[in-house]
Structure 1
Amino acid sequence: MTQLEFQGDPPAFGHSMLKYFAFDSDYVNLNHGSYGSLPLPVLAACNKLTMQIESNPDLFVRIKQTELITKCRAQISKFVNAKTNEIVLVRNTSHGINTIMRSFEWSAGDVIVTCTSTYDAMKGLARFLHDGPGHPKVSQFVIQWPTSHAAIVAGYRAHLQSIPRHAGQKVVAMIDSITSVPGALMPWQALVQVCKEAGVYSVIDGAHSIGQEMNIDLGKAEPDFWVSNCHKWLFAKRGCAVMFVAERNQHIVKSSFPTSKVYISPSDREFPGQSFIEQYNWNGTIDFVPPLSITAALEFREWLGGEDAINGYCHDMAMRGGAHLASLFGTRVLDETGEFTCNMVNIQIPLPPSVHPSEEITNLFNQKLLAPTNRKTKVSAGIFYHNGAWWARCSAQIWTELGDFELLGSVLTEVCEEVAREYGQ
């Protein structure tokens, strides 16, 4: 990053921040949580790095990239309070969770624990593993909002206790730290402890955590595995994620994906986790810019004022924006107490329950919001159905203001009326 990009103090959070992003002037982004948003200063750093790589690919790939990747791993390890030798970089959270879950040697009687709020791709992974050798059973824990962290922890403990156990059995729990839909902070640290008590492996899907969830402390929480996207809330370039594998479990993840040339057969290893880090440092030619953009993203966040300033603003805006939009709709927010809210807020939209959920209706909402035929302004939010009602998941970011929620409210009111006319019964 150049000095020009960081001259002086940053502007106030709100619309003044839009100049640091590449959004179209007629686009209102309230769905940052889905795909992230790359700041222009980080993009400039990425472009500079791209030119450095292309100026001498052999020099960069053969000599320089390992040093830079190691630096990134050290920075992000400190950020989440983990040992550097427990952290590697992968393409995205789904990639990391797949690597972990496919590394277990499944046997008849093993169990994979999911939740009704588990991300759809991860539910698909559990089904895929069930269909494969060993055929582990999938046991689903039901979560329906409104609820509380205490109720979830108590219910989860009872659910694990209800699973029949036998000697040699593996039980592996896939747990969201922040669920995708609804966008809700889970008591995942407490659930990790419940898993420890029950002799269950904890695999934390932290796709939405890093850059949104405050004070992530893997050293204190001690999950078995944890993966989080850096291109969502941390402002890194798509796609890169950080994958944590506790030292005690590195023998389970025997190979990176793809398998690296430095793979060592378990029978030939001097210690169980040998070659774990090295496999992820090099397992085929990739675009090295996304993982290395973590450094620039962290510098940008520090210039903005750091994690407390960023997430303090975004959380406050999520709470105020959600309440304001619910008031405009005459509805409610999903999380009345704020216990589940980080920087994403879920607001019930004025669509009757007689409109049943379908992919066709979800696609229609996307079309009406993002590619309208009768208005210039485009706006994004995550529309979903939960527990008998329709909701909008809105992501608050450093550029968000209350007026953005009002604009979304105006558009959604119009779209909901149209959907109700066409699909209501």
Structure 2
Amino acid sequence: MSAQVSGKTPFGRQMREKHFDLDPTYRPLNHGSFGTYPLQVKAAYRRYQEENESRPDYFYYRIRPARIYEARQAIASLLHADVKDCVFVKNATTGVNIALRNLEYESGDVIVYFATVYGAVWKTMVSLQETTPVQARKVEYALPLTHDEIVQRFLDVVNKARAEGLKVRAAVFETITSVPGVRFPFEKLTRICKDEGILSVIDGAHGVGQIPLNLGELDPDFFVSNCHKWLYTPRGCAVFYVSKRTQHLIKTSFPTSHGYILPQDRANPPIAKGETPFEHLFDFVGTNDDAPYMCVPEALKFRKEVCGGEDAIMEFCQRIAHEGAEVVARILGTEIMREPGVTDLKQSDLCRCAMVNVRTPLAVANDAVNPHVPDPSTSPYPAIDRKDVRKVQDWMQSQLLDKYNGFAKFDPQSGWLWIRLSGQIYLELEDFEWLGNVAKELCERVGKGEWKSDEKDLSTF
């Protein structure tokens, strides 16, 4: 695939060399985990930090409020939302915690979540069950599965809970799941939640900058998305959207800080003219480096002036991900995760994003079997015991990082180990071909049992 010209710099190698600070020897096929940002944004980031250090008091009292508001206006415009519904938090996990921990739970309340929930969000619900009366109910499935099947399984869990006399208070779901990286039916689920009187809490960690989003039309109760993953801001920066109808439920930021409204018999600092209590709550959450928030306008400027706009970026990232995944699947002799019966990735709901999953030839024993993928017994290698799969995937990722100087995520699903690949404007097909050949070599080494002899601590992934 040749580099595509959009704006002033062609996507691919030239974009990487001219606009990004990536090590030229490093193969970054894991943009979805931590993101990165271009030199233009880096310059703005450093400038704001230096401006802060030159006159800290003046910066915090005079410059910071206006810059943060400008950034909120910019992200709200991108999301087709009211600026008064959008504030900044450090990351998606923080936003989900703020939404769920502000709710007051009674005995019989239930939060519904999905089998592919992000690990930190799942642990948040475990913590809530330890400290409140709420229950958490999981929607079970193994991908690949159609969007309609996922939605139906959600309804089945909701109806079962209600049949038991429970109240489904909230549902937590993603725009795009983390691992495996697939687009989720968040639009349908949001509509169902509204019809069923369930609060929608959308973990859109991978949403902003990767897929088009219109919160005015979607109208969720709570939505959070990292800007530092796909929008090219520094870490950590996430937009936290709360519908006006549910803002009264958000009584505190986390940590609780200056915007918290004390009981009426206590003195409260005045709220700025025109500012709502919700905006005030997130106006100053402790002394932080808020320069990443301020970089949103510069990131959007780069995307428009250098890259040719949101549509150009999203089209390229999805296309390079699809075509790159086809290269990797061909090298491994396997397949790309998609719905049963779908041959063209453009027709796959799961693949309508810039993250794609390729099955490796490594089977996982005692794992959930999915009839939509080959029988694990067809693997040319000895099956990995389910209790060892984490050790194997960590070993493979460690080898990728330390020996081969690149990275991609591995994840067990439906009786096999899969690779999650991220498309990005600084990648070319040659990068995916490299990954495919390295992955093939790693699979052969796992098949020989090499991972068992490596005593290195692999608990960091």
TM-score when scaled to structure 2?
0.85
Aligned-residue offset at 1:282: 0.8
User: Matched residues in 2 for 1:23 and 1:181: separation?
Assistant: 24
**What corresponds to 2:320 in structure 1?**
317
1:355 and 2:407 are equivalent in the alignment: no
- Using the TM superposition, give the Cα deviation of residue 147 of structure 1 relative to its aligned residue in structure 2, in angstroms: 1.4
| Correspondence for 1:231 | 228
Partner of 1:294: 296
Distance in 1 between residues matched to 2:407 and 2:167, nearest whole Å = 45
Distance 1:332 1:9 in 2: 34
CA contact (8 A) 2:28 2:407 kept: yes
Work out whether 1:394 is the aligned partner of 2:394.
no
CA distance in 2, matches of 1:266, 1:99: 20
* Counterpart contact for 2:169–2:198, Cα < 8 Å: yes
Which of residues 194, 219, 240 in structure 2 aligns to 1:196?
194
Superimposed CA distance per residue, residues 359-399 of structure 1 (whole angstroms, 9 cap, x where no aligned partner):
32222112110101xxxx41211111111011100001001
Give the corresponding residue for 1:83. Answer: 82
Secondary structure in 2 matching 1:174: strand
1:5 aligned partner: none
Secondary structure of 1:140's counterpart equals strand
- CA deviations 1:44-83 (Å, max 9, x no partner) are 1111111111111100101111111111111101111111
SS at structure 2 position matched to 1:352:
strand
Partner of 1:340: 350
Structure 2 contact 320–423 (Cα < 8 Å) conserved: yes
Q: Structure 1, residues 306-362: CA drift from partner, whole Å, max 9, x if none? A: 011011111111111111211111100002543212100100112233113533222
Q: Is the 8 A contact 1:352 1:424 kept in 2?
A: no
Post-superposition offset of 1:133: 2.5
- Give SS of 2:162's match: coil
- Equivalent residues of 1:112, 1:173 under 8 A apart: yes
Q: Distance in 2 between matches of 1:165 and 1:154?
A: 16
The answer to whether the 8 Å contact 1:26/1:378 transfers is yes
Task: Give the letter for the 2:400 counterpart.
Answer: L
Deviation at 1:167, TM superposition (A): 8.9
C-alpha spacing 1:266/1:327, structure 2 compared with 1 (3 Å): farther
1:385, 1:78 → 2: CA distance? Answer: 38
Q: Secondary structure at the match of 2:363?
A: coil
What do the CA deviations read for 1:20-41 (whole angstroms, capped 9, x no partner)?
A: 1111121111000000012111
User: Is structure 2 residue 144 aligned with structure 1 residue 127?
Assistant: no
- Other-structure match for 1:140: 138
Q: Does 1:307 align with 2:320?
A: no
Alpha carbons 1:181, 1:393 under 8 Å: kept: yes
SS at match of 1:263: coil
Once the two structures are superposed, the pairs formed by residues 163-242 of structure 1 within 5 Å of their partners are 163-164=161-162, 169=167, 171-214=169-212, 216-242=213-239
Answer yes or no: is the 8 Å Cα contact 2:259–2:283 preserved in 1.
no
Hey, what does 1:149 align to over in structure 2?
Answer: 147
Q: Secondary structure at the match of 1:173?
A: strand
Letter in 2 for 1:320: E
Contact 2:92–2:238 (CA under 8 A) maintained in structure 1: yes
2 CA distance for matches of 1:98 and 1:220?
A: 24
Instruction: Please name the residue that 1:365 is paired with.
Output: 396
CA distance in 1, matches of 2:144, 2:15: 34
- Indicate the SS of the match to 1:281: coil
Cα gap change, 1:170/1:388 in structure 2, threshold over 3 Å: closer, same or farther?
A: closer
Deviations along 1:230-274, one digit per CA (max 9) or x if unpaired, are 0000000001100001011111110112222232147789xxx95
Letter of the structure 1 residue corresponding to residue 188 of structure 2:
A
**Residue in 2 that maps onto 1:380:** 407
Number of the residue aligned with 1:285: 287
What is the TM-score when the length of structure 1 is the normalising length?
Answer: 0.92
CA contact (8 A) 1:331 1:350 kept: yes
Amino acid paired to 1:356: D
* Whole-angstrom distance in 1 between the partners of 2:185 and 2:406: 31
Are 1:39 and 2:49 matched, yes or no? no
- The count of residues paired between Structure 1 and Structure 2 equals 411
Distance 1:260 1:294 in 2: 24
- Runs of at least 5 residues in structure 1 that lack an aligned partner in the other structure: 1-7
SS at match of 2:282: helix
| Secondary structure in 2 matching 1:102 | helix
Q: 1:106 to 1:182 in 2, by over 3 A?
A: same
Equivalent residue number for residue 10 of structure 1? 8
**What is the CA–CA distance in structure 2 between the aligned matches of 1:162 and 1:77, rounded to whole Å?**
38
CA RMSD in angstroms, aligned pairs only:
2.2
1:57 aligns with 2:63: no
- Aligned residue type for 2:211: E
Q: Equivalent residue for 1:404?
A: 431
2:26 corresponds to which letter in structure 1?
Answer: Y
> Which deviates more from structure 2 when the two are superposed, residues 352-361 or residues 217-226?
352-361
Tell me by how many angstroms 1:148 deviates.
1.1
2-side partners of 1:157 and 1:199: how far apart? 13
